[in-house]
Structure 1
Amino acid sequence: MRGRSGRLVLPRVVAAVSASALVVLGCAATAIAQPVGDAPVDTPAPDEVFNGYVLGTFEDATIATPQEIIDGATGHDPFYDEPPLHGDEAPGTLLKAKPFDVLFTVVKPGNVSAWKIMYVTENLDGSPDIGTGVVMIPDDGRDNATRPIVAYQEANDSVGARCHTSSQWSGGAVGDASAWSALGPLALMWGQGLATVISDVGNDADPAPHGVFAGKYAAKTLLDGVRAAFAVDDAGLSRDAPVGVFGIAGGGVGGAFAAELQPTYAPEIDLRATVLEGMVVDQRNFIRFAGGGIGSGFVFATLLGLEPQYPEMRLDEKLNPAGKALADVWRTQCQNSYFFTPFLPLEAMFTSGENPADIADFQHVYDDNRLGVGDAPRSRILITSCGADDSFMSVVPAQDSRDLADRYRAMGTDVVYRPSDCSMSVFFTNLYRWGTDLFGMQTVDWLATELSRP
């Protein structure tokens, strides 16, 4: 925790300018939906985003030293060196924890305590694996044992190493889109006193390709990250704390599977509520819908992020030289690279000339990653996504989210479905609402309300 002796003029100016810009953009902001029961799903006002706690983090922020900036950017932290496993460690076993100063770009925000964690998790075949992540808690005077916890699965689809959350929040993976998209939701969560646990989906520094698109694997890393966070003594979180899941885009798949698996995989976690936004519900439909469009690069990356947990896909044997060359590069890169290949012709990457949605060897993988066909989530679910397939930012089929809501309801799960409007008209007339809703910020009040129930 850093006191007011570390306050700087620059962060105050940044806060004032940012707040002013949001107020200007948000003057026309309106709620996207009427309250459902006693849990509203509304676009937050600028003063809710720049709440008292957040303004304090600006006031008490410091600028990192040149050495801290270099160390963060290179990301070579010996913390990620894996200890040998004995084979009898239960999933969620904390292997080590390390306090660190949150560092985003060159700014170290004040009044937040953070730890990197390394823990045991589980591959899809049941073998043990090692995951890393971060625990971040606002320093607001509240007893940490009384805090609800949010298991946050970011919109991070990076297949490469040192691209994930524990790098992002300690000065690495600079410019990663998922970290920037998390700023608003985290500001709202910390402003409400919520502790946050974010998984790297594997060991962030592992040079092998990361299985970020394997939903059940991502779910286990998220749930095991929460288990490990309970064991960080200095954090002081309660094992009886109410827990919520917040998953968006690629993280929404892991978040949804976490809700489905929790009753059997981690029944001791008191999972109360789950927020899912913009996730791929059915990978076949996603590939057909987004392939060849603005999200085509992410479609190709999806295959690369499945193979580590489904090695029988044998991608290299099916890719032609152009496809293999691109795959070799992306297996080492962060997700921002995928934005540079919109309209990528997927069929032209494979020797068969097939759409990867139709390749026979991949069908069981798509089946295993389809949401809403396993166990019923017991937590309450809020699903939100762009509500129309012709919306400006539609990358996943809108109908799939509606279908998922229906399937969960048929299982007996309490579901709230509230789509957002990502249309061009909202983009030009109410950019504030368009942006905040795209990042899921309108759902945080709902989540906090659910976690505050007795």
Structure 2
Amino acid sequence: MSVRVDVNSGWTPEPTLPKPTGRPRLPAHDPFYDPPSGFATLPEGTLLRSREVELAFLGVIRQQITAWQLLYRTSDLNGVAEAGITTVLLPSGVEPGDDRPLLAYQCAIDAVADSAFPSYALRRGAWAPGAVPQLELLVIASALDRGWVVSIADHEGQNGYFGAAREPGYRVLDGIRAALGFGPLGLRDDTPVGVWGYSGGGMASSWVVEMAPDYAPELDIVGAALGAPVGDPGQTFIRLNGTFHAGLPALVVAGLRHIYPGLDKVIEQHVDNDGLRKLDLIEKLGTVAAIVRFARDDFDDYTDIPLADLLATPEVLEVFEDIRLGERTPTCPLFVVQPIHDQIIHIEDVDGQVNRYVDGGAHVTYRRDRCSEHLSLMVLAAPTVLDWLSDRFAGRALPDAGTKTVLSMALNPSAIRGFVALARAAGKVVLGRKLGRNSEPTTIRERVRARNARRLSA
């Protein structure tokens, strides 16, 4: 993938549109998502269109958060131009600029249906039962409460290709570029950027930092927190098939068959009509609905050859190899957290991803948690993750790299204070109160000044 070139294209983005009224349309029926003619000739990250939007917790409780949606030029898996969208957030009443950092937060979309996309699910009036991004707003609130600007890209793209390689990174990185150039946020080209995501969001965040060195080297990504980042989606498929969470690997297959022709050919040849109907149906379901509807479902029941033989075909092995994480080395420091007894993502797969990063020379602080399971660690690790990101924004010394197995991340010495702040921010979301009381712009300003001084001395 070529590096974005800053050229004078003569392109002027459309004026920011006012807040839409009434119930939001699904992305597939919303003309805002349609790119203007000729957009493919523009550089990656070019802002095409913007609008103000109103956010609500669970679509109902109005949030005092200033929000815009940005449509921008990005690329798909094969480098073909497409339009991406990110929702950018600023705490209500907080002035833009003031050297605020930018957090690129990747939601665990984990669905193909566009009702689960953050750009729809976070909006007031959205009907998105079972969409994980609606609940993740409770965690995102803590970043806003610290005064950070937050960018939440639809990293699966407008077709919802859950599990795809590389392109989640392109979409997020180009969303960051668009946000940095969006005047109302008051950001600069050298704004420090942090990356964070958990589970499916951790997988997308892994692609962000793996693709960044070549695709967006100009961005100042100061650190990335990867929570339960999957590691090896192919192995996860094999382990989850036939279990309570069998809907998750089915969602991945439903999305990937559209972008890997070889996989689609194998499915058409060896999966029966009931299996094909299952894949068509699951594309319309949110994450929770897909898990409940297809619990204990076994893909082996839908194939005319043993599943083990189907998974050993060259076309399927090629996909599994392509979507495996850790084959490219990030250049920013990483903080990885993973439950040892995770019922969805096996610890060995994340160990492997971390080891591949370390072998490539990355600085990785890895915490393996004994007492948590998949869902609980997202919350229990959040205070430590937020403090780690805050330290990266402030330019403080990195903690020692290496792997440690801990009893619980909730026992971190600063965790008690962090849980109080986390609960306070989540409470503001539930009550529709203002966020941003614990703003940190002074710390960030000091970091930027120190960085600029280092550059001048060099």
TM-score normalised by structure 2 residue count: 0.75
Q: Partner of 1:95 in structure 2?
A: 48
- Please name the residue that 2:190 is paired with: 240
How many angstroms does 1:119 deviate by? 1.0
Q: In structure 1, give the amino acid aligned to 2:141.
A: A
Aligned residue among 207, 231, 246 for 1:281: 231
| Counterparts of 1:213 and 1:90, CA distance in 2 | 26
Distance in 2 between the 1:377 and 1:270 partners?
A: 13
Contact kept, 8 Å, 1:284 with 1:357, in 2: the verdict is no
Give the Cα–Cα distance (whole angstroms) in 2 for the partners of residues 139 and 188 of structure 1.
Answer: 14
Matched, 1:152 2:105: yes
1:183 paired residue among 112, 137, 143: 137
What is the one-letter code of the residue matched to 2:110?
A: D
Match of 2:277 among 325, 331, 346: 325
- Correspondence for 1:437: 380
What amino acid maps onto 1:414 in structure 2?
Answer: H
Within 5 Å, give how 1:290-439 maps onto structure 2.
290-314=240-264, 315-340=267-292, 341-355=294-308, 357-374=311-328, 376-387=329-340, 391=341, 393-423=342-372, 436-437=379-380
Q: Counterparts of 2:286 and 2:383 in 1: how far apart (Å)?
A: 24
Confirm or deny: 8 A CA contact 2:26 2:114 kept in the other structure.
Answer: no
- 1:46 is aligned to none
Aligned residue in 2 for 1:123: 76
Which of 26, 38, 60 in structure 2 is aligned with 1:106? 60
> Aligned pair in 2 of structure 1 residues 324, 384: CA closer, same or farther (>3 Å)?
same
Deviations for 1:101-151, whole angstroms, at most 9, x for unmatched residues?
2122211111x2110111111112111111112001113535425111111
Distance 1:173 1:369, change over 3 A: farther
Secondary structure in structure 2 of the residue aligned to 1:280: coil
Q: Is the 8 A contact 1:142 1:193 kept in 2?
A: no
Kindly provide the amino acid, as one letter, of the partner of residue 326 in structure 1.
K
Structure 2 Cα separation of the partners of residues 183 and 87 of structure 1: 32
- SS of alignment partner, residue 371 of structure 1: coil
Alpha carbons 1:95, 1:118 under 8 Å: kept: yes
Deviations along 1:298-321, one digit per CA (max 9) or x if unpaired, are: 011111222333233113333211
Deviation at 1:381, TM superposition (A): 0.5
The amino acid across from 1:412 in the alignment is G
Alignment of 1:29-68 (within 5 A): none
Q: Tell me what 2:117 maps to.
A: 164
1:83 aligns with 2:36: yes
Structure 1, unpaired ranges of 5+: 1-66
What is the aligned length?
370
8 A Cα contact 1:135 1:198, kept in partner: yes
Quote the residue 1:60 is aligned against: none
Residues 337, 368 of structure 2: 8 Å contact kept: yes
SS at structure 1 position matched to 2:115: coil
TM-align CA RMSD: 2.4
Is the 1:96–1:117 contact (alpha carbons within 8 Å) kept by the matching residues of 2?
A: yes
Hey, what's the Cα distance between the residues in 2 that align with 1:288 and 1:137? 41
The correspondence of residues 206-221 of structure 1 with structure 2, limited to 5 A, is 209-221=159-171
Partners of 2:377 and 2:327 in 1: CA distance: 31
CA deviations on 1:50-70 (whole Å, 9 max, x unpaired) are xxxxxxxxxxxxxxxxx96x6
Q: Tell me if 1:254 matches 2:204.
A: yes
Maintained 8 Å contact 2:172/2:208: yes
Contact 2:114 2:120 in 1 (8 A): no
Confirm or deny: 8 A CA contact 1:384 1:420 kept in the other structure.
yes
Residue type at the aligned position of 1:447: L
1:163 CA displacement? 2.2
8 Å contact kept, 1:145–1:238? no
Using a 3 Å threshold, how does the CA distance of structure 1 residues 394 and 181 change in structure 2: closer, same or farther?
Answer: farther
CA contact (8 A) 2:250 2:282 kept: no
In 1, distance between residues paired with 2:217 and 2:254? 31
Give the Å deviation of 1:423: 4.8
Instruction: Tell whether the 8 Å contact from 2:161 to 2:252 is kept in structure 1 after alignment.
Output: no
Task: Give the secondary-structure state (helix, strand or coil) at the position aligned to 1:71.
Answer: coil
| SS of structure 2 residue aligned to 1:155 | coil
Aligned residue type for 2:296: F
1:24 equivalent in structure 2:
none
Extract structure 1 runs of 4+ deviating beyond 6 A: none
**Contact 1:295-1:395 at 8 Å conserved across structures:** yes
Displacement of 1:215: 2.9
Residues 130 and 316 of structure 1, relative CA distance in 2, 3 Å threshold = farther
Change (3 A) 1:298 1:441: farther
Contact 1:253 1:280 in 2 (8 A): yes
For the residues of structure 1 that align with 2:257 and 2:99, how far apart are their CA atoms? Answer: 40
Q: Which amino acid aligns with 1:324?
A: L
Equivalent residue of 2:182, what SS? coil
- CA shift, 1:252, in A, is 1.4
| Contact 1:284–1:366 (CA under 8 A) maintained in structure 2 | yes
